[in-house]
A and B are shown apart, each in its own frame.
Chain A
Amino acid sequence: MEFVNPEGLRLDGRRPTELRQIRAELGAVAKADGSAVFEMGNTKVIAAVYGPREVRFEYSMANFSTGDRMRRPKGDRRSTEISLVLRQTMEACIMTHLMPRSQIDIFVQVLQADGGTRSACINAASLALADAGIPMRDLVTSCSAGYLNSTPLLDLNYVEDSAGGADVTVGIFPKLDKVTLLQMDAKLPLDIFENVMQLATEGCKAIATELREVSNLMKEINIVGEHKAIGISARGIKSYARWFRLQLCPDCCYTQFLSP
């Protein structure tokens, strides 16, 4: 089947290095400490963050969970694997040493799946964490890329993903320029793999600029010295009342503690 036609357009009319349309919204779940809806084309995901709060149980199985809308039983292998991947990615970016003996719950609900669900979940979770005011080293953005009809393609949808070609998912810290998640299905020659991974990384950076715009629009921007600071929502302050208030500079992640 032809995934890239001779003019260089894909099945949905995109060019090989074009992302799907992105839509993001903060504060979707009013009761959660932080929440976000993230849409990448037809893939739609809601993430909600509860915490930090006291750990109620000594040992808690899953801090993250993924739900799929098709009537699949919870706890199936794919969900467990995605939860594990999400947890490891988020653990790398949240400054957990600032919140000892507390628990952060991130719940992600997939409303519509059209390829790239893993990436959409990571992006939504990053936004939800930012909405909750939880201190992070950097936003995490994620994007997938593949290789079909001898062309590297960015941001695969479901049809392209099921075509049997390779699927590389990359998650990065855009400002720190570090890779935090790298997964691949199927096989690729090494030089092509480098191209595809590079393409996915570019996609992640593009998503990062969009996400920063969204979080900047939603919150007030204060200028503190040479750093811009994102104001923390009232919900965030409530959950931090016992520890500290802090502001995160979106450009360099300079963290300023305002009061003990």
Chain B
Amino acid sequence: MLGLSLGEKQFIKGGIAQDLRSDGRKRLTYRPISVETGIIPQASGSARVRMGATEVIASVKAELGRPSPLQPDKGKVAIYVDCSPTAEPTFEGRGGEELSTELSVALQRCLLGGKSGAGAAIDLSSLVVIEGKICWDLYIDGLVVSSDGNLLDALGAAIKAALSNTGIPRANVASGASGDGQPEVDISDEEFLQFDTSGVPVIVTLTKVGKHYIVDATAEEESQMSSAVSISVNRQGHICGLTKRGGAGLDPSIILDMISVAKHVSEQLINKLDSEIAAAEADEEES
């Protein structure tokens, strides 16, 4: 994106102040969202989400591994985000690494809960096969294909869709396994356990431009922001995680206001996403 002229910057800020953004949206309206699931057949689950010109792909791969000794009854989940240079030429080589790390950490914070494993949005105990010995490791990979602002929301939506699309193969433990050696686990090709994603939160990013906040900012609008707060909210309206970006200071009352706005917006977003995911899964089954 080339630099913006002074006139363009004024236009963006003025539009936001008047509740009429450059593409005609209101401040709290999302761009059209489209979801496709099952696009990567080699993965256990995958989804592609498009929000306007922003396009991200998320894939979930399940592999067998050892549970951590601190939590022998829980599986493990790792989230990595990669910014592809197709999105921005500056992402070539190591250029996109900073952004990738920032996005990965923010997603981990929103979806995985604390160090003790408490409060994770994904039920980790459903991933264990043999307590203390074998569990499922989920590797969630996000890929930013096209970047036009609001990457965190798109990635959150893509991960939610990919998890709904994920099928963990049923692992049958061979009976008579000894206590010492590695037990035999037979992974079935036929039966799959679908993941329960009703507890997975969505992420709503509120970008403050001037005195107002907008939802789903484009790259141009993000360049004019003073600060941004990303809040992850689940279906029950509980806040699962919070990240503030940007150097400008925010009055605490404004942050509380942003949180309540985010909760309100998240209801519509969750409904829209759920209906899109259901439609995508139905399409995928037909094809």
Contacts and interface: CB of A to CB of B under 8 A. Distances in A.
Interface of A: 28-32, 35, 42, 44, 46-48, 50, 61-62, 65, 67, 69, 71, 74-75, 105, 107-109, 111-112, 114
Interface string B93-121: 11000000000000000000000000000
Contacts of B145: 28-29, 46, 109
Interface stretch (B83-91, B156-164, B182-190): B83-91
Given A46-B145, A69-B143, A109-B145, A32 B86 contact: yes
Contact of B85 (A65, A69, A112): A65
Contacts of A44: 40
24 contacts: A28-B55, A29-B86, A29-B87, A30-B52, A30-B55, A31-B147, A32-B86, A35-B86, A42-B42, A46-B84, A46-B145, A48-B85, A62-B92, A65-B85, A65-B92, A67-B82, A74-B93, A74-B94, A107-B86, A108-B86, A109-B84, A109-B86, A112-B40, A112-B41
A30 B55 CA distance: 9
Interface in B41-91: 41-42, 52-53, 55, 57, 59, 80, 82, 84-89
A111 B57 contact: yes
Contact of B84 (A30, A71, A75, A107): A107
B146 A30 contact: yes
B42 A112 contact: yes
Contacts of A29: 55, 86-87, 145-146
A107 B147 CA distance: 14
A65 B148 contact: no
Contacts of B87: 29, 31, 48
B153 interface: no
Contacts of A46: 84, 86, 145
B141 interface: yes
Given A107-B84, A109-B143, A109-B145, A50 B53 contact: no
Nearest to A60: B92
A75 B143 contact: no
Given A32-B86, A42-B41, A69-B141, 7 more contacts: A28-B55, A29-B86, A105-B85, A105-B92, A107-B89, A109-B85, A109-B145
B92 A32 contact: no
A109 B146 CA distance: 11
Contacts of A111: 40, 57, 143
A242 to B, nearest CB: 13
B92 A30 contact: no
Which residue of B53, B84, B94, B146 has the most chain A CB atoms within 10 A of its CB atom? Answer: B84
Nearest to B97: A74
Contacts of A71: 80, 141
7 shortest interchain CB distances as A-B pairs: A48-B86, A30-B53, A107-B85, A29-B146, A109-B84, A107-B86, A50-B89
A61 B143 CA distance: 24
A222 B146 CA distance: 31
Nearest to B141: A69
Contacts of A48: 85-87, 146
Nearest to A103: B89
B276 to A, nearest CB: 19
Contacts of B94: 74
Nearest to A30: B53
Contacts of A65: 85, 92-93
Contacts of A109: 84-86, 143, 145
A46 B41 CA distance: 16
Contacts of B141: 69, 71
Contacts of A75: 93
A218 to B, nearest CB: 18
Contacts of B40: 44, 111-112
